[in-house]
Amino acid sequence: MLRSTLKLLVLLASFSFLAACGGDDGPDCTDTMAQMRGSVVVMGTCTACHSATSANRNGAPPAVNFDSAADIDTHEARIRDRAINLKTMPPAPPTGSGPLAAGQISDLEAYLDCR
Ligand code: HEC
């Protein structure tokens, strides 16, 4: 009896350990719609200027394009900094439309965190 109670306790302890492992270390990537909207922010807004095929880059640096996943990898830290932290991308009018709305920023974060 004591032996089986001990076994049960060990079993329960290991389950709670497993549950703790799946805890909130990483970002919450369950909202796939937010991630999708975040990719649309990049493809629909940023690439107006930051694309190899942009008709008018409005002065965006020639090497800073967001056309592919590899491009996003290369520039991810600066994308986060300019669009999410500093809110200086897109540029203010008359060059651009100004900072992203709060909802677009959280969508962009979800996209970058979970891709
Ligand atoms: C209307 C054109 C335009 C749009 C739209 C635009 N950018 Fe830019 N971007 C620029 C220009 C011009 C520069 C160079 C001047 C500067 O750095 O402020 C630039 C520079 C950058 C740089 C490189 C400079 C650095 O700080 O590392 C990054 C990264 C960047 N933009 C991110 C973004 C992101 C992310 C978006 C979309 C949320 C975006 N941009 C939308 C015009 C644009």
The answer to whether residue 85 sits within a structural domain is yes
Q: Could you tell me if the CB of 39 is within 6 A of ligand 1?
A: no
3-class secondary-structure state, position 23: coil
Under DSSP, the state recorded for 105 is: H
**HSE-up of residue 64 (Cα within 13 Å, Cβ side):** 17
Domains: count for the chain:
1
Give yes or no for a contact between 41 and 100, defined as CB atoms under 8 angstroms apart: yes
How many angstroms separate the alpha carbon of residue 60 from the centre of ligand 1? 6
- What is the domain extent for residue 57? 29-114
What pTM was computed for the model? Answer: 0.84
Pick from 40, 43, 49 the residue to mutate for probing ligand 1's pocket: most ligand atoms within 8 Å of its CB.
49
Query: What confidence score (pLDDT) does residue 70 get?
Result: 97
> For residue 50, is it within any domain?
yes
Is position 88 within any domain?
Answer: yes
Instruction: Please count the helices (runs of H) and the strands (runs of E) in the chain.
Output: 4, 0
Per-10-residue mean pLDDT, the chain, length 115? 61 51 76 98 97 98 97 98 98 97 98 97
Q: How far is the CA of 95 from the centre of ligand 1 (A)?
A: 10
* d(CA 50, ligand 1 centre) in Å: 7
